[in-house]
A = this chain, B = another copy of it.
């Protein structure tokens, strides 16, 4: 049910169409809440039924019409209510850890290669986050309100990716030592 609330937050920041929301979930919001366009269209439909958002058709030149969604008063109230609710900590489900734990039942070298691949993926993502940090928040001490909140979420992403890179390095080092011994 949280996708609806992620959409409410995004639409409060700026009204937009389903397509535009899908783009935002490919970056920005999507860095901490992933969602496909199919999910987004379905959720928007439900949210219109619930009266949380309104969708106005907007004609465009040389482009298909789009429906621009806006948060209603009821939607804003619902978002405020949800923000005050406790969130359950996410269930941990780390496939790579399952593979490492089970490595001795297959080819350790292949699991090791996979850890290397994940290291690269996390390092890439970390580089993206660091670039955003430098571009959008050059002086973090002066931040307040919404931009501070955005910055703090980005900081979470940076910490998570950095810790993944460090862990992959530890795993790679230990497995290499072990296989050469």
Interface residues of A (CB under 8 A from B): 2, 5-6, 8-9, 12, 29, 31-34, 76, 79-84, 86-107, 110-111, 114, 117-118, 121-122, 143-146, 148-150, 152-153, 155-156, 159-160, 162-163, 166-167, 170-171, 174-175, 178, 181
Chain B hits for A160, CB < 8 A: 160, 163, 167
Instruction: Specify which of B80, B93, B118, B144 is in contact with A105 (CB 8 Å cutoff).
Output: B80
Please judge, given known A-B contacts A148-B178, A150-B101, whether A110 and B92 are in contact too, CB under 8 Å.
no
Min CB–CB distance A74 → chain B (angstroms): 13
Instruction: Specify which of B84, B101, B150, B155 is in contact with A149 (CB 8 Å cutoff).
Output: B101
How many copies of the shown chain assemble into the complex? 2
- A106–B84 touching, CB < 8 Å: yes
25 A-B residue pairs with Cβ-Cβ distance under 8 Å, sorted by A, are A5-B102, A9-B102, A12-B102, A29-B101, A31-B92, A32-B94, A32-B97, A33-B94, A33-B98, A34-B93, A80-B106, A80-B107, A83-B103, A84-B106, A84-B111, A87-B99, A89-B118, A90-B94, A144-B178, A144-B181, A152-B174, A155-B170, A159-B163, A159-B170, A162-B163
Task: Classify the secondary structure of A's interface with B.
Answer: helix
Alpha-carbon distance between A87 and B117 when the two chains are bound, in angstroms = 10
- Most chain B beta-carbon contacts within 10 A, residue among A31, A81, A105, A111: A105
Alpha-carbon distance between A98 and B82 when the two chains are bound, in angstroms = 11
